[in-house]
Every structure is written in C-alpha cells, then in structure tokens.
Amino acid sequence: MIKAAVVGVGYWGPNIIRNFATNPSIRVEFCADLNQERLDYIRNIYPYIKTTTDYKDIVKNQQIDLIAICTPVYTHYEIAKAALLSGKHVLIEKPMTSKSFQAEELINIAEQKNLKIFVDHTFIFTDSVKKIKEIIDSEELGDLYYFDSVRINLGLFQHDINVLWDLAPHDISIMYYLLNKMPESVVATGSAHLGNGIEDVAYMTIFYTDNLIAHIHTNWLSPVKIRQTLIAGSKKMIVWDDNQPSEKVRIYNKGIDILQDEKDIYRTLIQYRTGDMYAPKLDGIEALTRETQNIVNSIMENRKPLVDGFAGWMVVKVLEAADQSIKNRGKEIKIEDL
C-alpha cells in the first residue's frame, strides 16, 4: 500500500484524491492547503484524511511515500524539491516547473535518491491517445507530415501564466509521446487583450527534423470549445475530435501519391487518394484510472514512469522557447540554445 499526500486541494487535488481512492494499492492519508475551508471540505468527504495548512508537515511525515503537488506553477519547484530531499516520490501537476533549470535540478535529485518523478500529463493516459499511439507505431500513416492541434474555449483565465502555459502542455506532451522526437525550434505569436500583459490567444509552430511540423492554437477567448487534432502522414491521416461523445478518433485512408510524369521526366505529378474512413473502438478505460495504475506499478516494481521528469522538463523547455519567441514577435528559438 502506497501512502500518498496531496498538497493543494483547490481544483485538481480533489480529483487526485477521488481517483487514488479507486485503486486498492494507493491511499491518500494527508492533505495540505493554505485555505482552511478547502481542508474542511476534504475532511467532510474523507474523514480519515489528516490535514494541515503547512505543506512542510507532510514533507516531514515519515509515513508518506508519495506527494502529489497540485499548487500554482511557481510553487512546484520548491515543494517538489523539499519532497524529494526528504525521500518522497512526487506527482507534479503540469507544467512541471516555471523554469527548465528547476526541472533539471529535480530530475537530478530524484536520480541520486532513486525516487520517481511523475508529471501529470493526463492526456497521455486517455484511450484516444493510446489508440493513436498504436496506429503511429504500426507505421500505418506512412511518413509523418504534420501535427495540428486546436485547444480553445472561453476562460478559465490564469493569473500567473499565459494561455500557452495553461493549455499547450497537453499538446506538447501528447506530441512528444506520439512522435518520440525532440522539437528543434519554436516560433510563437500571441496577443494580450485583458490589460494584464498575459497572452490570452497564442499560436505556436514547432519544427522537427524531416519537414515534420507541428502547430498549436490556444485561446481563452473563443466563443466555442474546440479540441481537435489532425495528424497526417503520407499514407493515412487522423482526426481526433475530443469533443465528440463517440468515434473520437477517425482514421482516413487518404494521402498523396507522387508520380513521375510520363511525358516530362523532370516533372512530378501529385495526386491525392481517398478511401474509407474508420473509427476504432476505444477501450473506455478512464485516463486517471490508467495513470494511477502506472504510478502504482512504477513505484512498486521500480519501473520507469510513462510520463517522467524528462517529459515534464521537455514541455517546460518548449514553453520557454515559445515565451521568448512571442516576446520577439515570432523569432525562431532553437531549443538547444536555451
């Protein structure tokens, strides 16, 4: 039985508690929050959970094996460092840290102390992403051409991070998981309309090798909610519409044929090809259930987490590049130069 604690029980923390409760191998025993009302709320539902307004009480507690950190981004580093130094595994809400060097330090500490860092990129554990991963790994798509994601809605505005830091971690982590490739550079643009200098609309292009290109549109000011990702290869193309109640993932047998022109050998003809579409059945397992099981297995069997500190660091690195590019109005920022 893994004994867990949760620091921060505002919006996301209670989900972690509820979810851990459904797995018999892990159990939340302690919670911290600066706000006593939130702690009372938790106690009301889970009378067996201890609470404190000082997260250091949790860090000092010898019984706790894992600390889940669900606080504002700028506090992740301090809390995670304290947790690791006192010998606890950590599960960190996304984005992992405010600065990539902080993520690097956490990774180093965890390595030295043989502890696990889990970063809460929940989408990696959805049945949609799992199915898309299978399809890409089977090389059914052919050469990968692009990844295009739109993640827009009205609100919820954040006060400390812009719309890219809020929404793009989902897409950056999904792309990294699916494509298994390091981004090379980033071009980003955005605009702030609310008088606080925080971008509420932002666009990011990510360049990879081999002409593979990715693009993410994030927006807090959209009248409609869109969660749509296109992934195209030379042979097949995927549309993943996460708003659909069913058939979220659709594979189109569409692609490009590049032919030699018979009349003119210096010229190629490009034809597009269309065929059937199919929507595979998804397994219907909830993302948080799968994520919890992965955490349990990683700790108990000392296995590499599906989403580890490196994945978390990579997302922060891309976000740092995006910030710098936005400030320089689209200047290309190479990831390695950061």
**Residues in touch with its own copies (CB under 8 A):** 143, 145-146, 148, 150, 154-155, 157, 185, 187, 189-196, 201, 203, 205, 207, 211-213, 215, 217, 219, 221-225, 230, 232, 234, 237-239, 243, 245-247, 252-254, 256, 258, 268, 270, 272, 274-281, 325, 328-332
Give the whole-angstrom CA distance, residue 171 versus residue 227. Answer: 10
Contact 201, 191 (CB under 8 A): yes
Least distance from C-beta 213 to its own copies, angstroms?
4
Residue 111 or residue 257: which is nearer to its own copies going by CB? 257
Least distance from C-beta 77 to its own copies, angstroms?
24
Least distance from C-beta 9 to its own copies, angstroms?
19
Residue 72 or residue 297: which is nearer to its own copies going by CB? 72
Residue 105 or residue 332: which is nearer to its own copies going by CB? 332
**In sequence order, which residues have a C-beta less than 8 Å from that of residue 217 and are 6 or more positions away?**
149, 150, 151, 152, 202, 203
Residue 61 or residue 228: which is nearer to its own copies going by CB? 228
CA-nearest of 260, 256, 261 to 272 is: 256
CA-nearest of 166, 178, 177 to 322 is: 166
The alpha carbon dihedral of 235, 130, 308, 114 has a sign of negative
Least distance from C-beta 260 to its own copies, angstroms?
11
CA-nearest of 333, 312, 314, 336 to 322 is: 333
CA-nearest of 75, 11, 17, 9 to 38 is: 9
Peptide bond before residue 95 is cis, with ω within 30 degrees of 0: yes
Give the whole-angstrom CA distance, residue 145 versus residue 141. Answer: 9
Residue 22 or residue 63: which is nearer to its own copies going by CB? 22
Residue 84 or residue 201: which is nearer to its own copies going by CB? 201
**In sequence order, which residues have a C-beta less than 8 Å from that of residue 64 and are 6 or more positions away?**
3, 4, 5, 29, 30, 58, 88
Least distance from C-beta 243 to its own copies, angstroms?
7
Least distance from C-beta 178 to its own copies, angstroms?
17
Residue 87 or residue 278: which is nearer to its own copies going by CB? 278
The DSSP code sequence of 144-211 is EEEEEEEEEEE-PPPSSS-HHHHHHHHHHHHHHHHH-----EEEEEEE--SSSS--SEEEEEEE-STT
Least distance from C-beta 29 to its own copies, angstroms?
18
Residue 82 or residue 188: which is nearer to its own copies going by CB? 188
Least distance from C-beta 117 to its own copies, angstroms?
33
Contact 94, 173 (CB under 8 A): yes
Peptide bond before residue 288 is cis, with ω within 30 degrees of 0: no
